[in-house]
Amino acid sequence: MLRFSLIYCVLAFACSVSLAADKVTKYCRFQANQKTAYGLIEGDSVIELDGDFFQQPKPTAKKHKLSDVKLLIPTTPSKVLALAGNYKSHLPDQKIDPKFEIPQIFYKLPSCLISDGETVVIPPGTNEVHFEAELVLVIGKTAKNVSPEKALDYVFGVTAGNDISARDWQKNDVQWWRAKASDTFGPIYPVIVSGINYDDLRLQMRVNGETLQDQRTKDLIHNCAKQVSFISQHVTLNPGDLIYTGTPGKTAAIKPGDKMEVELEGVGILKNGVAAAK
């Protein structure tokens, strides 16, 4: 009987660990009463954590109504990377050019990031600024020379992003620094979600209520693990770093007054307006 009880306890423990590993969890970085903190979202409440996401923080006794806090950019990244041409549907004639057989990475800047509800500002000198709905990976621990098999162990979770792009600058400049990283060109949803299948989520872009992009992340040319592994062979990824994983289909120009919505299945809807620079 004792032996049976011990076996039962071991099996129950193993089952609980498995369920915990598969649990969908939502995190945020927020401001309340002039204090910036990290939190765990449960229903319409935010449970304050005793540190950031990456130090195995424990929940505190402090609980806030979600409606009473200001949700911020979810991390303070040391770097923001992004992929070009990572869906066949986004490539000319939907054919993979040999150069896209490896992940093609470029940099955005942390200073371009804005949160949900903030405004994308079209700067002077560009006449063709496009939306790009994207899945964004959030790195959870230092990653250097990691294998594809282990790469997802370094991903803390995912969120939704919008890789705003000035196409004329992208085409005519030698580098993409202002085309991809001008101020406000990096909208990002303030909630990070873990415990979902990052490689099979529905991604949509709506502008003024019209759906203009709609594809699943299973169609990525280079999946999430390959991206993290490849980047880590060349650049050390740090906790909080962000990877915009590429956009599907065709994009189009936005104009002042437009309302953009990036919806990522299991995560939420990133909403941003558009304005001209004053």
- CB half-sphere exposure, 206, CA atoms < 13 A: 10
**Do residue 6 and residue 100 come from a single domain?**
no
Of 19, 37, 71, the domain-final residue = 71
Looking at the DSSP bridge assignments, the partners of residue 102 are none
Average pLDDT for 258-266: 98
| 244: β partners | 82, 136
Question: Do 245 and 265 have their domain in common?
Answer: yes
pLDDT number for residue 266: 98
C-alpha torsion sign, points 246, 249, 252, 256? negative
One domain for residues 84 and 46: no
Which of 54, 71, 88 terminates a domain? The answer is 71
Which pLDDT score is estimated for 22?
62
151 and 47 together in one domain: no
Least confident window among 7-21, 35-49, 162-176: 7-21
User: How far apart are the C-alpha atoms of 172 and 127, rounded to whole Å?
Assistant: 12
The confidence score (pLDDT) of residue 56 equals 86
Does pLDDT of 160 surpass 50? yes
Do 84 and 58 share a structural domain?
A: no
pLDDT digits (tens, 9 = 90+) for 59-99: 999 999 999 999 999 999 999 999 999 999 998 877 788 88
Say what the pLDDT of residue 96 is.
80
Question: Do 100 and 158 lie in a common domain?
Answer: yes
**Mean pLDDT, to the nearest integer, of 162-169?**
98
210/151 same-domain check: yes
Looking at the structure, tell me whether residues 25 and 157 fall in a common domain.
Answer: no
Separation CA 93–CA 91 (nearest Å): 6
Domain count, the chain: 2
Judge whether residue 14 has pLDDT over 50: no
- Residue 37 domain boundaries: 2-71
Q: Are residues 30 and 116 in the same domain?
A: no
Tell me, what CATH number does 6's domain have?
Answer: 2.30.30.370
Phi, psi of 113 (to 5 degrees): -75, 135
Tell me how far CA of residue 251 lies from CA of 56, 117, 201, in angstroms.
39, 21, 19
In whole angstroms, what is the distance from residue 110 CA to residue 75 CA?
A: 10
Question: pLDDT-based confidence at 9, cuts 50/70/90?
Answer: very low
State the Cα–Cα distance between residues 194 and 26, nearest whole angstrom: 7
The verdict on 38 and 108 lying in the same domain is: no
Query: pTM (2 decimals)?
Result: 0.91
Query: In the listed set 37, 71, 105, which residue is the last one of a domain according to the structure?
Result: 71
- My answer on whether 107 and 32 are in the same domain is no
